Chains A and B, each alone.
Chain A
Amino acid sequence: ETGVTQSPTHLIKTRGQQVTLRCSSQSGHNTVSWYQQALGQGPQFIFQYYREEENGRGNFPPRFSGLQFPNYSSELNVNALELDDSALYLCASMPGSRQENNYGYTFGSGTRLTVV
């Protein structure tokens, strides 16, 4: 059983650029969530996809967008990068549509994005 894989592992971008981060969910998991984790803070919920539809969103501006594909892999796109977007971006997958159903997340190892 393969876990959650993310690419790339590290990325440096310039302010104003756009970035796409990728995630392959764990086998059998149809829900993918994206989180942003700044240094010294807990992960902040960006959004969640279940069977290719967004079914939850946190307090992030519209320049943060995503997709989920039929194979349940996912992309996170960030436009017009700002310095404050520098963080670890974590992808997490789980079976079922809601963590309230007692399914825990399996996290990928993250993409560390630096905006200069």
Chain B
Amino acid sequence: RKEVEQDPGPFNVPEGATVAFNCTYSNSASQSFFWYRQDCRKEPKLLMSVYSSGNEDGRFTAQLNRASQYISLLIRDSKLSDSATYLCVVPNAGKSTFGDGTTLTVKP
């Protein structure tokens, strides 16, 4: 089993839709978590951090469920510009493990 697992998708949604991605992790010692966004052939960019129950930034909400060991990312009112791959990151003991990402395509 991978340390960090994500549904690869792709998720194809219309503009304005609400979409949610899940990420499960195996290391229960991890305390903080991150979501990154990666556009095609570009570097990952930090989207949000999650270190308690959740975090909200505009249309984006990240939630953490420690008991079930997963984090989620909710995007409301999807825009065309939200099309990208979303990477879940779980740091622990000086090492950060990335999931393989979930691809989102928002269509007009």
Name A residues whose Cβ lies closer than 8 Å to a Cβ of B: 33, 35, 40-45, 48, 55-58, 90, 97-102, 104-110
> What separation, in Å, do the CA atoms of A57 and B46 have in the docked complex?
22
Interface residues of B in 80-102 (CB under 8 A from A): 87, 89, 91-101
Q: Which residue of B lies closest to A41 (CB)?
A: B100
A-B pairs with beta carbons under 8 A, tally:
61
Residues of B contacting A33 with CB < 8 Å? 96
**Contact indicator B98/A44 (Cβ below 8 Å):** yes
**Contact indicator A100/B100 (Cβ below 8 Å):** no
**Contact indicator B32/A99 (Cβ below 8 Å):** yes
Does B59 sit within 8 A of A, measured CB to CB?
no
Supplied contacts A105-B44, A109-B43, 18 more A-B pairs, CB within 8 Å: A35-B98, A42-B98, A42-B99, A45-B96, A45-B97, A45-B98, A48-B95, A55-B94, A56-B93, A56-B95, A57-B95, A90-B43, A98-B94, A99-B96, A100-B31, A102-B51, A104-B34, A107-B44
**Contact indicator A42/B96 (Cβ below 8 Å):** no
With A56-B94, A97-B94, A99-B96 already in contact, the answer to whether A42 and B87 are too (CB < 8 A) is: yes
